[in-house]
Amino acid sequence: MSLAATRLVGVGGLAYFPSFVSPTALLLLAIMLTLSVRRVDLAALDTPLLVLGLAQGATIAAPLAPVDAALGGALSRTLERRDFRGARDEVLHLAGGTKGPVRVLLVGLGKGGDRGAALRRAASLAARRAHGMGVGTMTWYAGPATPSELEHVAIGLGLGPWEYTDLKTPPPAEERRAPLTAATIHVDDMAGAEQALASAAAIGAGYDVARRLAMMPGNVCTPDHMADVARDIARRHGLEVTVMGRRELESLRMGSFLSVAQGTPQDPRMIVLEYKGAPPAVKPIALVGKGLCFDSGGISIKPAAGMEFMKFDMCGGAGVLGAMEAIARLKLPINVVGVVGATTNMPSGNALKPGDVVQAASGKYIEIINTDAEGRLVLADLLDYVKRYQPSAIVDAATLTGACVVALGHIATGVFGNDQALVAEVLAAGERAAERGWQMPVWDDYRDSIKSDVADIKNTGGRSAGAITAAKFLQDFVDTTPWVHLDIAGTAYSESDLVAIPKGPTGVPVGMFVEFARGRVR
């Protein structure tokens, strides 16, 4: 059983870029991280690196006795002296003996809490360290694991060594380290292990699609490129795909979406992917994503410092494409419609201005207060459009507001909705996926902030409760359809190193989307 690693071969010598290679070829650049599972037999272990995931306060269990013996008792002494205490993200490197593992890496799981999430994080950190060491292959053991926990480990091993090196010149041969290409997971019980690895492979591929799209520069990951990736997903998995440009959006009277795109010469794209894993009579779920391939803020331009990170404003759309990749690989018996609105928000002589009024496809008139509140303008028309599929539920994701980052930091996704049962379902999916969310209110009291003097609604209510008033804006376009909005502004990417994974895209909300779909068919 193999899992596609989210780590890529560098591509050098590019004299010209915006479209040097097809989406399919980009996917084939990925090095395969081969994962295998074996029943515990650490006595006969010969590996360049053995990683032991240990909880806080751990002692030498029976399977670890041969390892301790091969290390001359160094493992037991380390734990007895409390040189390693098993705290979350704690790492200790031990040199091996003349026999057995060449190196042993102790990685802390922390104390209590969600064991699956702890295993995923520790495995990700371990694989990242192994990749940096240049060991080539590694072995993992963390005691007994359920199939669900094994899936977390396998996903973590794929997430950790991820790199985006397509646009970097490879280092000289003498400075290169062997990439991590294989990992073996030792388990006590093989029951369910094969299925767990297969599921992890599918989800890992979804994370890879989302993270690679997000990490690409804005001149590479254009609306056309996102559309090409969607077409490639559809071709490989037999999905239906529809891509609409400016002319088609005009015929649909999507004035809200088009108002964002009127300042850029790039053609906007509305991408629709349809996965049909259930009979046609079964209502689909709809996943909707904001795909702002670059957001300058438009006329309400952002500060120059840090503006380069606005290439990540398409992470909601990338999450939809990644989720559709994973759902198709999992072959879930469910119908899913994935919709992405892709464009760029740029200042120009044709750009949208504060004070303008535009009409959405629903017929509502929107007063523009701030052109940097553009994601909700794109989503407004997408949410209205997707209702034609009569979905049983709509879940949208967007890097929508800095206000959500102020409220929740980079730990939790903001979760808003008009149906409490659906909100609870999505929150539970996030817990299973180790992508935590926190419910925020969408009380009617907040709508007063987005009442307009000249139109039906205005696109921002100011600084106070900014994430909530943005959600209230979106709610106007879903009517009574059960709906949840995920504000992933603080969780989709990081501007600093996250220890277990490098700075950059996290892959959120792929896991939450996929677990939501899986939960519907369990």
Structure-block tokens of residue 73: 């008792």
Report the amino acid identity of residue 132.
G
Enclosing H/E stretch for 123: helix 115-133
Q: Which residue is catalytic, options 121, 246, 376, 436?
A: 376
Question: How many Å separate Cα 465 from the centre of its chain?
Answer: 26
- Burial pattern 471-500, b for ≥16 Cβ within 10 A else e, equals bbbbbbbbeebbbbbbbbbbbbbbeeebeb
Q: Annotated catalytic, 99?
A: no
**CA 191 – CA 489 distance, rounded (Å):** 39
Q: Which of 38, 231, 302, 447 is catalytic?
A: 302
Q: Distance between CA 101 and CA 179 in Å, rounded?
A: 18
Tell me how far the alpha carbon of residue 340 is from its chain's centroid.
15
The answer to whether residues 342 and 268 touch, using CB atoms and an 8 Å cutoff, is yes
Residue 156 and residue 123 in contact, taking contact as beta carbons nearer than 8 Å: yes
Please return the burial class of 241, using the count of CB atoms within 10 Å of its CB with bins 0-12, 13-18 and 19+. middle
- Chain center to CA of 486: 12
Give the CA angle between residues 233, 4, 213 to the nearest 5°. 50
Tokens 């003097």, residue?
453
Handedness of CA 445, 449, 450, 453 (dihedral sign): positive
State phi, psi for 57 to the nearest 5 degrees: 80, 15
Residue 388 annotated as catalytic: no
Tokens of 130: 């192994």
DSSP-based helix, strand, coil % in the chain, nearest 5:
40, 25, 40
Degrees, nearest 5: CA angle 155-160-161: 120
Cβ(48)–Cβ(137) below 8 Å: yes
Spatial distance between the Cα atoms of 242 and 339, rounded to a whole number of angstroms = 10
Torsion of CA 205, 211, 215, 216, to 10 degrees: 40
Query: Tokens for 199?
Result: 């599921």
3 state SS of 2: coil
Name the amino acid, one letter, at 129. R
Tally Cβ neighbours within 10 Å of residue 13: 6
Sheet architecture: strand order including 483-487: 240-244, 269-276, 335-345, 285-295, 393-398, 483-487, 413-417, 437-439
Q: Check whether the bond before 509 is cis (ω within 30° of 0).
A: yes
Quick one: which of 272, 298, 419, 312 has its CA closest to 358? Answer: 298
Residue numbers annotated as active site: 302, 376
